[in-house]
Amino acid sequence: TLGHDVGDELLRQVSQRLSECVRLGDTIARQGGDEFIVLLDALDDGRGASLVAQKILNVAPPAGTAPGRPRRCPCRPRARPSQ
């Protein structure tokens, strides 16, 4: 592994990038490990969720951006409407 400091910095970078993809009233939460949940409030249709998912994919850190070492950082957005 690359150590806690590198992992913590990666989590900070990911959370910052996610916050740039959503609106002020939306919620970003770290579920655990390297998993994040993004809650989008008051969407009119699925297009809004698709746009946010694409923004997230566009800002996801590419593989190999950890300081000095290659690593994988997969990003797999999933959408599910609230009940």
* Residue whose C-alpha is closest to residue 30's, from 42, 39, 43: 39
Q: Are 48 and 34 in contact (CB under 8 A)?
A: no
Q: Higher confidence at residue 76 or residue 10? A: 10
Q: What helix, strand, coil percent values describe the chain, rounded to 5?
A: 35, 15, 50
pLDDT in tens, 45-61: 778 888 998 998 888 76
Q: Is the pTM of this model over 0.85?
A: no
pLDDT in tens, 17-55: 899 999 999 999 998 888 888 998 888 877 888 899 899
> Taking Cα atoms as reference points, which of 43, 44, 12 lies closest to residue 28?
12
Which pLDDT belongs to residue 70?
A: 55
- Distance, CA of 3 to CA of 58 (rounded, Å): 26
